[in-house]
Amino acid sequence: MLYMILQTAAGPIADLVLTRTISTPKECKRSVMRTDFVRYHFNGTLLDGTTFDSSYIRKQTQNSLVGEGWLIKGMDEGLLGMCVGEIRHIVIPPFKAYGEKGSGTEIPPQATLVFDVLLEDIHNPKDNITIENQVVPEPCTRRSVVGDYIRYHYNGTFLNGVTFDTSYQRNSTYNTYIGMGYVIPGVDQALLGVCFGERRRVTVPPHLAYGEQGAGDVIPPSAVLVFDIHVIDFHNPNDKVEIQVTYKPEVCNNTTAVNDLVHYNYNCTLVDGTLLFSSHDYENIQDAVLGADKVIDGLDEGLRGMCVGEKRLVTVPPHFGHGERGGAGVPSSAVLVFDIELVSFEKGVPPGYMFVWLEDSPADLFNALDANKNGEVPQEEFGDFIKLQVAEGKGRIKPGLTMEQVVTEMFKNQDRNKDGVIKAEELKLKVEEDKEREHTRHEEL
């Protein structure tokens, strides 16, 4: 290639750094300025085409500050104004390269140098993270703070668009505490103040990422990282179950409580609305005894104090749900939302009881049981008595069981010598049995 010596006001053109753009990216948000730090690939040749150096051979970018004397003067000039992804042809005259002395055996004295440069990365040591392409769902009722535990998806790329990691490929969110140093500082900062369902693109300079060391074979030294983040949900370990009443009947005289058997419909979703389960998928309506560990703690709490016909939205943080391990069909550490409707309920009895009195029991209970006054009570006679108490509203059996089941179990407990009848000396109220059992336990201690 022939370089003619032409005269300009600044001197011979051969004394200038000549640049020619080979290709440019479609979008250029930022170009190289003095004091910027760049990563670039290059092929370096003499005018006759002899290669003296190449970053491609070393399989590692050239990394340097621009305009601070780290590079030869001609390269400092030639890089100015470049965009990430741009390829530039740079011709550097000797006095802005290695001059009269040359460099080692590869670059002779007074050599003009030719570089083909591909800019891979650019940042400034003073850069903070940048956030763009935000999509914030409406309404946003809560924003993340330090100490929250967050679940999010992400795509991680370099400035040139090459992907280095993605949670989508693993089909699992990344879960972490915010602002506590569990992730790189730039991401820690970027996750503050986000809403459920928010999307944002975060550009993280290397001093807020993996720095000059990089990370293994995945993240090169001094690399700028770009994260496209989609927030799934977050919670705080101190969060309580959140209950929102969406409908309540005008007349509400009785409400559910611990030990009651409740019948209800529900839809269970993630915060983003993804349906996980629905009672409508089952033939029978859902039921549970409250306080008996039949459902997760958060749903149990959400079903208490309800009227028949009432509807609620119950938001359950994972520590009142399926926890860090998740469950069948439930992601780990997921916040759950239950849309519930109470269909009906039956008042319950304390744990261990089959029947409770709703008013004072008869003063002489055995005499009341012994209808024919023969001094013994068979199961049929015992059952008739219990049925009568329930029918007259004087007592209540354990919900979820038939009358026959309750009578059989109660009679079995009272027929202590197993002769098929209950005698006066065998009969004891459950509360009396509990007192005796407690007294015996204290004597043993």
Q: Could you tell me the mean pLDDT of each successive run of 10 residues in the chain, 445 residues long?
A: 40 77 93 97 96 95 96 97 97 96 94 97 96 92 96 96 96 95 97 96 97 94 97 96 97 93 96 94 90 94 97 97 93 96 92 88 90 92 93 89 92 92 87 61 48
- Does the pTM exceed 0.75? yes
Per-residue pLDDT, 401: 86
Residue 225 is predicted with a pLDDT of: 98
What's residue 351's pLDDT?
84
Domains of the chain: 7-123 (3.10.50.40), 130-235 (3.10.50.40), 242-346 (3.10.50.40), 355-444 (1.10.238.10)
Q: What is the rounded CA–CA span in Å between residue 189 and residue 193?
A: 9
- pLDDT of amino acid 220: 95
Q: Which amino acid is at 95?
A: F
